[in-house]
Amino acid sequence: MSLSERSGSAALLDAQAIRKSFGRTDALQGASMSVAAGEIVAITGPSGSGKSTLLLCAAGVLRPESGRVTYDGQLLDDLGEAERSRLRRRDFGLVLQFGQLVPELTAAQNVALPLLLDRHDKAASFAAARSWLERLDADELADARPGEMSGGESQRVAIARALVSGPRVIFADEPTGALDTVNGERVLQVLLDVARETAASLVLVTHDNRVAASADREIVLRDGCNEQRVDV
């Protein structure tokens, strides 16, 4: 069976018939995606096809105008803002193209942030942060601020931050898009290794075929919808 033909059975996260507009632009017009526990899924498609919007809707960052997002049997729409925030901090890890670290904080503080916001013990939070930085070969950056880091270094710190709370689903929006080939490969490999080691699901938005080829399954979007498979 091909990469694209398998459907995600026993979905941990399921987004169905999602519609989302920004002003007069219809970003999503009924797109769907699902990911099973431990599955690695790539969302691909041309620029403007709605890949990032679908990822952000599935991650509970954006609220769709219509459609259903279910995580572990729970409808996200039934959750209040505080509960959604808690879910994003505890169960979801989000990696964006440019890291989006807090510029005033050191790498260790950035990585510890989700745990500190969740009222974890300070010493334990920093110990976990340093452990993840070490895992990502970024321990020497612990006291550096984002302005002092290269693109690849920032991205590894951002991944450490996304993983520190032990997420069950990792969302990565063009995680290698701002990196050169070798650094991009390294960052991708870390994401894949961690997802496999921890049995986390990984949702990758990408326009890079090499990244798409690393996934178990590909979901192709076109004009805000899932691409229709044509059979002859």
Partner 1 sequence: MLCIVGRMAIGHVLLGILERRPAHGYDVKRIHDERFPSAKPLAYGQVYAALAKLAKDGLVEVAETHQEGGPERTTYAITPAGVESLRAWLGATESAGPYAADELVRKTVTSLLRGSDATAFLQRQRITHLAVMRDLVAARAEAPSAAVSIAIDHTISHLDADLRWLETAAERAAADRTRSA
Choice between 68 and 186, CB closer to partner 1: 186
What radius of gyration do the chain's Cα atoms show? 17
Contact 58, 64 (CB under 8 A): no
Shortest separation between residue 214's beta carbon and partner 1, angstroms: 6
Contact residues toward partner 1 (CB under 8 A) are 2-5, 46, 189, 209-210, 212-214, 218, 227, 229-232
Instruction: Compute the distance between CA of residue 169 and CA of residue 195 in angstroms, rounded to an integer.
Output: 9
What does the block give as tokens for 23? 């002003």
Which residues on adjacent β-strands are paired with residue 203?
A: 41, 171
Shortest separation between residue 42's beta carbon and partner 1, angstroms: 9
Instruction: Compute the distance between CA of residue 205 and CA of residue 50 in angstroms, rounded to an integer.
Output: 10
Shortest separation between residue 141's beta carbon and partner 1, angstroms: 24
Choice between 52 and 70, CB closer to partner 1: 52
Instruction: Compute the distance between CA of residue 72 and CA of residue 64 in angstroms, rounded to an integer.
Output: 18
Shortest separation between residue 175's beta carbon and partner 1, angstroms: 15
Choice between 88 and 156, CB closer to partner 1: 156
Choice between 46 and 166, CB closer to partner 1: 46
